[in-house]
Amino acid sequence: MDADETPVLEGAGEVLLTPEGFDLAALFKEACILDCDEYDEDLRGTKREAEGISGDAGCSDQAPIGDDSRSEQAPACTSGHTPGEEPEKSRAAKKRLRRNERRRKERVHEREEAGRPPVREEVKARFIPSTPILEASIRFVDLPVTSCGHHGRRETKAELEALKEEECTVEALRGAGKLEVEWDGIKPQVVVNRANGQILTILGGRAADPSFMKSADRATEAILKAAEGAEFTEEEREHKRASDSAALNTGIYYGGGATKPGNMANGRHAEMLEVLVSDPDISRIAGFADSLFRFWMPRVYADVEEKLNQLYERDPTLKKNWAGSVYPCAAFNFGPRVACKIHKDSGNAPHTFCAITALGNYNPKLGGHLYLKELGIFIQFPPGSTILIPSALLSHANTPVAPHEIRVSFTQFVPGGLIRFVDNGFMTENGLRKKSKKLWREKMAEKEKRWERSRELISTLDELRTRRPKKN
């Protein structure tokens, strides 16, 4: 992302207030039931080391990328998404193109290493919404997290079965009386708690630079191209989070009985993921999402950044995806028509907001919505735009897009295990108990209040408004 790129656009944003009767406090407490030493998040369908190769990555019915018309009937693609062959270039021309591309990537890397500049105060003044359009009497204290406060609670078997039965098509959601939130993917909107103004969902939009959508289209092409070469197996395409759409995580993770955090292994897909992470357009989108997180949740962002920096200083072998993003993990959903099944990301830190970026070519009024079950809303989610949600707390899904359309997605998130490892003095709870029973007892006692302290870091609209500069 360019240094002057900020998560803002002209015009006042809007605030959606959560519905009456929605109690976030109970949901948050419910998620604190489990003691989560070495919490084992099921990564099936998101991290693979499969040896078998099968499946057809071809997509003769995919729509072309780069068409901003987003028409209801996007033209079908007869030759796939791969552009046609260009005339043979001279050796000098090829050398010049390689040199220019190398320099462009070096500039992107330099900007990332320099970090994000502070958000300008005049930008804050015009970006923070003033009037709500949807409110719920839901409190974060009611959303379910584990007893240690580092994870959302995993759904019970009965809850999972109930979620499976819920149909997440546009027609079904409308028929069930869910509220459809119209959104152009540009103008910022937020969902807040009716009682105290705490922000629950951020419709962040996209960067104001007109070239940003071109970056989004190129990022889509890069993900689709990677999927073609990956030769995903049927098992990789069919999993609990989505059907006929492989998904892979990359970055730094801790859990599943490991003794310390490590870089995620992706077997035969590792090289492909490295190519995607180094892609300048995907890097730009990652940086913009990071800016949204920092802008809307400054105290949560600072808490995550401080703790993860301690971790990186202690273990230099840990490799961030992007120097310009605080998020330690990212997920690619390869589509080509991804529609995530309803779920919670229970392994994520509950007070953090994962950043979801939709990509592709589809009509957002007809499909690709983001459904948030507890809030009773489904949001139009145009390609190239980013939404931030506490994904460990809110059950979420997508409505399907049409067979001739394309939808992929890119998400960044914060695993709760990393925060827990730092809070426990860079060791497991068992290791802490062996080292000092007194310190272990103190840490266990802190669990009861940790989720409350984390919840208090969530921004309110009033808090953000007080940071506005005074008008002369």
Q: What does pTM read for this prediction? A: 0.74
Q: Model confidence over 332-390: pLDDT tens digits?
A: 999 899 898 898 988 899 999 999 999 999 999 999 999 999 999 999 999 999 999 99
Give the pairing of strands 132-136 and 189-193: parallel
Q: Could you tell me if residue 102 is inside a domain? A: no
**Block residue for tokens 């995919």:** 62
**CB of 131 closer than 8 Å to CB of 187:** no
Q: Residue 123: its pLDDT value, please?
A: 52
Q: Could you tell me if residue 96 is inside a domain? A: no
**CB of 413 closer than 8 Å to CB of 327:** yes
Q: What's the structural domain count of the chain? A: 1
Q: Residue 281: its pLDDT value, please?
A: 97
What average pLDDT does this structure show over 67-93?
Answer: 48
Tokens (6 digits) for 330 = 């990212």
Give the highest mean pLDDT range of 77-86, 165-174, 395-404, 417-426.
Answer: 395-404
Q: Is the pLDDT of residue 45 over 70?
A: no
Q: Is the pLDDT of residue 44 over 60?
A: no
Higher pLDDT, 471 or 439: 439
Higher pLDDT, 149 or 317: 317
Q: Residue 73: its pLDDT value, please?
A: 42
Tokens (6 digits) for 257 = 């009985």
Q: Could you tell me if residue 46 is inside a domain? A: no
Q: Is the pLDDT of residue 262 over 70?
A: yes
Q: Which domain covers residue 178, as residue numbers?
A: 14-39+57-63+107-466
For residues 335 and 237, give the distance between their C-alpha atoms in angstroms, rounded to a whole number: 9
The C-alpha angle with vertex 318 and arms to 312 and 319, in degrees rounded to 5, equals 110
For residues 423 and 212, give the distance between their C-alpha atoms in angstroms, rounded to a whole number: 38
What average pLDDT does this structure show over 444-459?
Answer: 80
Q: Residue 402: its pLDDT value, please?
A: 96
Q: Could you tell me if residue 436 is inside a domain? A: yes
Q: CA separation (Å) from 161 to 156, 165, 166, 395? A: 9, 7, 9, 13
Q: Could you tell me if residue 178 is inside a domain? A: yes
Tokens (6 digits) for 411 = 């998400």
What average pLDDT does this structure show over 324-339?
Answer: 94
Q: Could you tell me if residue 45 is inside a domain? A: no
Give the pairing of strands 406-413 and 329-333: antiparallel
Q: Is the pLDDT of residue 271 over 70?
A: yes
**Block residue for tokens 């077997």:** 267
Q: Is the pLDDT of residue 178 over 90?
A: yes
Q: Could you tell me if residue 7 is inside a domain? A: no
CATH of the domain at 278: 3.60.130.30
Higher pLDDT, 289 or 340: 289
**CB of 385 closer than 8 Å to CB of 204:** yes
16: phi then psi, degrees, rounded to nearest 5:
-100, 130
Band of residue 290 on the pLDDT scale cut at 50, 70, 90: very high
Q: Residue 2: its pLDDT value, please?
A: 54
Q: Is the pLDDT of residue 318 over 60?
A: yes
